[in-house]
């Protein structure tokens, strides 16, 4: 814990100042332009530096022995060494007095404006506020107040308790989907000389700091938002902006969709070729938690322009392994169509559990709370009836089924012999695969899915 005495020691540094100079060279700006995939022409001397791109200049200058184990500097300029080890961008307010240009020689004055401590649901937090003024040849160009938060260390094996990200607003005049994949995060780290490992070292981010995946840089998010505002308002000028980092922007299961996107491009297939998703989650959701997850999932499918009105045409299985489960929902497998024809229909049948009536909650579950052999057979019998109905609805038949996957943590021998194989008929030649897993909603005990596909690939990494 950080004591009052320690905070007073830290506050004694308020008013500490540093100054430095730099040149707005075209190289870093053009590399960021490429990293972001922007269609703009190459920036040349005399061109205005886009707002929110100043992070490419006045880079930190620290040797390896001046860094914390997480890659962040021990003594970050005017901010003194902190007793809390974990550092995060918390937000900024920026005002532009006049534009900076490629080729300008610029001066920056930095002052520590405030240090404060708060306690909350995520532990003790120390906030440092730095006031920055940047001058060009014509005088003051940019004024900025940047806030950084320092947090307690995560104990080994614990999950990061940072606040969850709120869903994106639905009623907006403009919308753009950006995939902040590991390549973009690495490039931005390199361009800003930011060695904080949560942005590019997945093992560190997940195993040491307890995040469910890589963390997107706060300034990168700001740059993408300001660029989007500029693109949506041609001819207008950004005079100021304020950002607040309310929760980390992460790359867990959405990172899997970036992998899908790359594979589809390499295969010469559009996003619309996606026809099946398999996810793995850490533990079953509550009913409300599952609804919340599905809202985020549907928003991504909307960004991909896959939804058909309010309908989601992509079958999905999302289960929770009893061993080796990921920290957060993660991509396990996906299905897509290939150009050409097959002698008979190919299909993916979405996973289903023993939920008789979703609107009744737990009371709608077949034999809720009962895991006796007889109850498990009844659950399986109900699920098989759903599979039969869905299979027929897709124009498929059991002789075209190439995989039967069962998800349960209870023994399934009796279920396979009495509830699955009698229906499977010729599909039994492929066997039945058992994944010791629970369905994604609390109270469910049994799930099953089917598919009849022409080919299965295993992707490395």
Give the mean model confidence (pLDDT) for residues 348-354: 94
The β-bridge relationship of strands 403-407 and 433-435 is parallel
* SS3 category, 53: coil
Give the mean model confidence (pLDDT) for residues 214-232: 92
Q: Does domain 4-247 have CATH number 2.60.120.10?
A: no
- C-alpha 20/C-alpha 135 separation (Å) is 11
Helix (H) or strand (E) holding 292: helix 287-303
pLDDT at 5: 43
Q: Is the pLDDT of residue 118 over 90?
A: no
- Place 1 in a pLDDT band, splitting at 50, 70 and 90: very low
- Nearest Cα to Cα of residue 458 among 338, 333, 339, 347: 333
- Nearest Cα to Cα of residue 394 among 436, 358, 350: 350
* SS3 category, 364: helix
pLDDT cut 70: percent of the chain above it: 92
First-last CA distance in the chain: 40
Question: What is the DSSP-derived secondary structure letter of residue 18?
Answer: E
Q: Is the pLDDT of residue 124 over 50?
A: yes
Q: Is the pLDDT of residue 178 over 50?
A: yes
Phi, then psi, of 188 in degrees rounded to 5: -70, -40
Burial of 318 (0-12, 13-18, 19+ CB in 10 A): buried
Least confident of 221-225, 271-275, 362-366, 456-460: 456-460
Give the mean model confidence (pLDDT) for residues 58-76: 88
Beta strands in 25-122 (DSSP E): 86-96, 105-120
Give residue-wise pLDDT tens across range 361-404. 899 999 999 999 999 999 999 999 999 999 999 989 999 999 99
Q: Would you list the DSSP string of 58-100?
A: S-----GGGB-TTSSBSS-TTSPPPSS-EEEEEEEEEEESS--
Answer yes or no: are the C-beta atoms of 159 and 208 closer than 8 Å. no
Q: Which residues on neighbouring strands pair with residue 91, listed in sequence order?
A: 147, 244
Placement of tokens 């800003």 in the chain: 192
To 5 degrees, how large is the angle CA 451–CA 456–CA 461?
A: 125
Count of C-beta atoms within a 10 Å radius of residue 190: 13
Name the residue ranges covered by the structural domains of the chain: 4-247, 253-452
pLDDT at 2: 45
Placement of tokens 């740059």 in the chain: 223
Q: How far out from the chain centre does Cα 141 lie?
A: 35
Question: What is the DSSP-derived secondary structure letter of residue 273?
Answer: G
**pTM for the whole thing?**
0.62
Q: Is the pLDDT of residue 439 over 90?
A: yes
- Nearest Cα to Cα of residue 104 among 27, 46, 52: 46
Average pLDDT over the chain, rounded to an integer:
88
- C-alpha 210/C-alpha 397 separation (Å) is 45
Q: Which CATH superfamily is domain 253-452 in?
A: RutC-like (3.30.1330.40)
Phi, then psi, of 191 in degrees rounded to 5: -70, -30
- Place 170 in a pLDDT band, splitting at 50, 70 and 90: low
pLDDT at 156: 57
pLDDT at 258: 77
Least confident of 27-36, 143-152, 164-173, 272-281: 164-173
Q: Is the pLDDT of residue 353 over 50?
A: yes
Q: How far out from the chain centre does Cα 228 lie?
A: 20
Give me the sheet containing 347-353, strands edge to edge: 347-353, 447-452, 403-407, 433-435
pLDDT at 317: 95
Distances, alpha carbon 166 to alpha carbons 49, 170, 337, 347, in Å = 31, 12, 33, 35
pLDDT at 195: 94
Q: Residue 373 is encoded by which pair of tokens?
A: 């052999």
Helix (H) or strand (E) holding 212: none
């Amino acid at each position: 814990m950080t004591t009052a005495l320690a905070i007073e020691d830290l506050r004694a540094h308020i008013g500490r100042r540093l100054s430095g100079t730099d040149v707005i060279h075209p190289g870093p700006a053009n590399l960021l332009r490429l990293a972001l995939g922007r269609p703009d022409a190459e920036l040349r001397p005399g061109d205005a530096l886009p707002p929110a791109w100043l992070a490419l200049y006045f880079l930190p200058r620290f040797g390896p022995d001046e860094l914390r184990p997480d890659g962040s500097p021990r003594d970050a300029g005017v901010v003194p060494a902190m007793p809390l080890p974990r550092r995060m961008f918390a937000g900024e307010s920026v005002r532009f007095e006049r534009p900076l240009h490629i080729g300008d020689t610029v001066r920056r004055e930095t002052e520590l404006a405030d240090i404060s401590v708060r306690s909350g649901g995520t532990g003790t937090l120390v906030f440092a506020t730095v006031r920055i003024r940047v001058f060009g040849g014509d005088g003051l160009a940019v004024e900025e107040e940047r806030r950084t938060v320092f947090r307690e260390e995560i104990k080994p094996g614990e999950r990061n308790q940072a606040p969850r990200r709120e869903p994106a607003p639905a009623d907006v005049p403009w919308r753009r989907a950006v995939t902040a994949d590991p390549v973009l995060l690495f490039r931005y780290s390199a361009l800003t000389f930011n060695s904080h490992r949560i942005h590019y070292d997945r093992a560190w981010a997940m195993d040491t700091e307890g995040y469910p995946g890589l963390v997107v840089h706060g300034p990168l998010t700001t740059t993408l938002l300001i660029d989007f505002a500029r693109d949506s308002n041609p001819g207008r000028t950004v005079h100021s902006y304020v950002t607040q980092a309310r929760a980390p922007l992460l790359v867990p299961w959405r990172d899997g969709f970036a992998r899908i996107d790359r594979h589809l491009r390499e295969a010469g297939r559009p996003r619309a070729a996606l026809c099946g998703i398999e996810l793995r989650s850490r533990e079953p959701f509550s009913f409300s938690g599952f609804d919340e997850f599905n809202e985020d999932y549907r928003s991504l499918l909307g960004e991909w322009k896959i939804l058909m009105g309010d309908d989601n045409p992509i079958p999905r299985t999302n289960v929770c392994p009893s061993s080796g489960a990921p920290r957060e929902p993660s991509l396990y497998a996906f299905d897509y169509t290939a150009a050409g024809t097959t002698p008979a229909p190919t299909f993916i049948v979405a996973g289903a559990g023993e939920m008789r009536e979703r609107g009744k909650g737990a009371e709608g579950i077949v034999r809720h709370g009962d895991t006796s052999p007889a109850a498990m057979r009844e659950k399986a019998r109900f699920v098989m009836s759903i599979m039969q109905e869905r299979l027929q609805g897709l124009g498929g038949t059991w002789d075209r089924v190439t995989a039967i996957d069962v998800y349960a943590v209870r023994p399934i021998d009796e279920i396979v012999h009495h509830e699955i194989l009698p229906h499977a008929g010729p599909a039994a030649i492929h066997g039945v695969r058992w994944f010791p897993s629970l369905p994604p909603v609390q109270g469910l005990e049994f799930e099953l899915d089917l598919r009849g596909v022409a080919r299965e690939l295993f992707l490395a990494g």
